[in-house]
Amino acid sequence: MWTTARTPIFDNHIHLRAEFQGVAAAKAFEQAGGTAMLLTHTPYDDVPIRRGDDFAVAYDKTLAMADAVRSTTSLQVFVALGPYPVEFLALREAIGPQPAMEAMRGGIDEAARHIAEGRAIAFGEIGRPHFPVAADAISACNDALEYAMRRARELGCAVVLHTEDPTPQTFAEFAEIASRAGLAADRIVKHHSTPLTRPEDTHGVVPSILAKEDLVKTALRGSPRFLLETDYIDDPRRPGAVLGPATVPRKTRAWLESGVLKEDEAWRIHKDLPERTYRIEFRE
């Protein structure tokens, strides 16, 4: 019988903001049976980015949020830090292409410092805009992504991707960029992934899929090699934009009870794969 007393329930991608639900959302996750989360950095309206040094202030907000959750819950909170790719577009418009690239690299280097010092475990979410943009913007974002992957190889950490919805061809592209950087594809996590899970489709990249039953059923037809996430954005201005913070534990339990998910599959999704991907260890 599956019990959270012996096995983690992990949300692979969640955003929390002190000015909105913040700790209250984390408590809702915990009360539903959640035990661990990857708190992923997101831009803040009150921290404008104009150069690489500005990311330090933004990252401090995310790290402070992680500490607040740890101090008020029993959750394990892991952190991913990195310059959100859409920020590059605003930077390019404001300060020009080359200074914008220097700022993004500065943001990657600042995240790397926190990873090296143990405050974060991954770069994320980084990559390229999820909507159509000019080819030169995509090329620049890919260059920044490869730079982050090279830093990830040096640090021995994972990279969480924000991109357009992936196809087998884009998974192959991510794996090729990682190969050029010397980073193993299984250290690359595609956040908000399509439910492609067959090895020939993912090319070693780890899909992270929204905790929706139709997506999970499709994913399981390929392989249980995927992570679950809500992508909860903690923004009252966008109600219903993504899933609520209690969704992953609540849905996991329901799928186990209904037979959608087998216990060995849940174990792989919530424990084996995240521990291997991020080189972390969940508490018993």
Cα–Cα distance between 204 and 51 in angstroms, integer? 34
Tell me the CA distances in angstroms from 113 to 4, 108, 121, one per residue in order.
33, 9, 11
Q: Which stretches does DSSP call E strand in the chain?
A: 10-14, 36-40, 76-81, 122-127, 158-162, 188-190, 206-210, 227-229
Q: What is the pLDDT along the chain (284 residues), one digit of tens a residue?
A: 455 556 799 999 999 999 999 999 999 999 999 999 999 999 999 999 888 889 999 999 999 999 999 999 999 999 999 999 999 999 999 999 999 999 999 999 999 999 999 999 999 999 999 998 999 999 999 999 999 999 999 999 999 999 999 999 999 999 999 999 999 999 999 999 999 999 999 999 999 999 999 999 999 999 999 999 999 999 988 877 789 999 999 999 999 999 999 999 999 999 999 999 999 999 98
Confirm if 243 and 216 have CB atoms less than 8 A apart.
no
Summarised one tens digit per residue, pLDDT across range 117-149 is 999 999 999 999 999 899 999 999 999 999 999
- Phi-psi label, residue 233: left if phi above 0, alpha if psi -120 to 50, beta otherwise: alpha
Specify the 3-state DSSP secondary structure of 73: coil
Q: Give me the phi and psi of 179, to 5 degrees please.
A: -60, -45
At 261 the pLDDT is: 97
At 239 the pLDDT is: 75
At 6 the pLDDT is: 63
Cβ-based neighbours of 50, under 8 Å, separated by 6 or more: 91, 94, 95, 103
**What is the CATH code for 10-166+229-278?**
3.20.20
Q: Give me the phi and psi of 217, to 5 degrees please.
A: -60, -45
At 2 the pLDDT is: 53
Cα–Cα distance between 127 and 140 in angstroms, integer? 10
Confirm if 124 and 145 have CB atoms less than 8 A apart.
no
Q: Which of 275, 238, 274, 250 is nearest to 17 (CA)?
A: 238
Summarised one tens digit per residue, pLDDT across range 167-184 is 999 999 999 999 999 999
Cα–Cα distance between 39 and 36 in angstroms, integer? 9
